[in-house]
């Protein structure tokens, strides 16, 4: 389990169980009262998977209303309709080992203020590379994947982890060719996110292209659009509207 500074927080455990932890009080089970603890910092027990996040949502109907805009009800129905895939069981560097929730942040050079995003970015992190690969990856390197558009059923068994430090990129404000290029990077520990940040981020990422048939149709339409653009670019015939 992730270590956090002394202070009150909630702890999410396997099975979608939620506990309120206060150094001056006894730990309390609040698994069905999650909406009352949305603004508390959250830590995840070892072994917590994406399925546990969705179980917490399922057991707290008010949360489904809070996240209704992000297809929360439909996500739960699709995710928990059948038993999840348990994975291949092989430490393949071309397969996802766990999901990582990280906070993006930049710096406003005019005010010198940090601008962290409230929503976390979810990526898939692969198993360590066991031997040098032809694609340039070295031993120990991990591949990362964007999870947008991946069916929720395919992600349920992945462990979920929180990245405490954020990579903060400082950009040059020069008006010429160097403008927009990162000139430095530092890592800052913003501490644990709140429970609502985690729930919102997971629902946002999983429902970015919709859910179920809507997701499949939209992804297929995007593939066809990309294919059409490539075909037009390769064609010698002028395009006519």
In a domain, 212, yes or no: yes
- Starting at the edge strand that comes first in sequence, how are the strands of the sheet with 121-126 ordered? 144-146, 121-126, 96-102, 160-162
In a domain, 180, yes or no: yes
In a domain, 82, yes or no: yes
In a domain, 47, yes or no: yes
In a domain, 137, yes or no: yes
Domain that residue 137 falls in: 9-231
Q: Hunting for tokens 């603890």 — which residue is that?
A: 37
Q: What is the pLDDT of residues 74-118, one digit of tens each?
A: 999 989 887 766 665 566 777 899 999 998 877 777 777 777 778
* Number of separate domains in the chain: 1
> Helix (H, G, I), strand (E, B), or coil: what is residue 121?
strand
Please tell me the predicted confidence (pLDDT) of residue 118.
85
The H or E element that residue 107 is part of is strand 105-108
- Give me the half-sphere count of Cα atoms (radius 13 Å) on the Cβ side of residue 222: 8
- Kindly give the parts of the chain with pLDDT less than 70: 1-6, 84-91, 132-137, 169-184, 212, 214-219, 223, 226-241
Its pTM stands at: 0.78
């Amino acid at each position: 389990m992730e270590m956090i500074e002394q202070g009150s927080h909630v702890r999410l455990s396997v099975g979608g169980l939620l506990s309120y932890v206060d150094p001056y009080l006894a730990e309390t089970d609040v698994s069905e009262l999650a909406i009352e603890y949305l603004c508390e910092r959250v830590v995840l027990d070892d072994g917590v998977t994406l399925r546990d996040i969705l179980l917490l949502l399922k057991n707290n109907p008010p949360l489904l209303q809070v996240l209704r805009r992000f297809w929360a009800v439909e996500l739960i129905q699709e995710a928990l309709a059948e038993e999840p895939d348990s994975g291949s069981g092989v430490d393949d560097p071309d397969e996802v080992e766990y999901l990582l929730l990280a906070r993006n942040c930049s710096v406003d050079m005019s005010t010198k203020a940090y601008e962290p995003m409230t929503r976390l970015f979810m990526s898939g992190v692969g198993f360590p590379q066991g031997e040098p690969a032809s694609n340039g990856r070295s031993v120990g390197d991990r591949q990362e994947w964007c999870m947008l558009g991946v069916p929720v059923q395919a992600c349920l068994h992945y462990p979920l982890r929180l990245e405490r430090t954020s990579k903060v990129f400082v950009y040059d404000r020069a008006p010429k060719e160097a403008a927009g290029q990162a000139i430095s990077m530092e890592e800052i520990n913003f501490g644990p996110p709140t429970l609502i940040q985690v729930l919102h981020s997971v629902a946002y990422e999983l429902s970015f292209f919709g859910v179920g048939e809507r997701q499949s149709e939209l992804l297929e339409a995007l593939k066809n659009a990309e294919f059409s653009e490539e075909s037009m670019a390769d064609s010698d015939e002028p395009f006519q509207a």
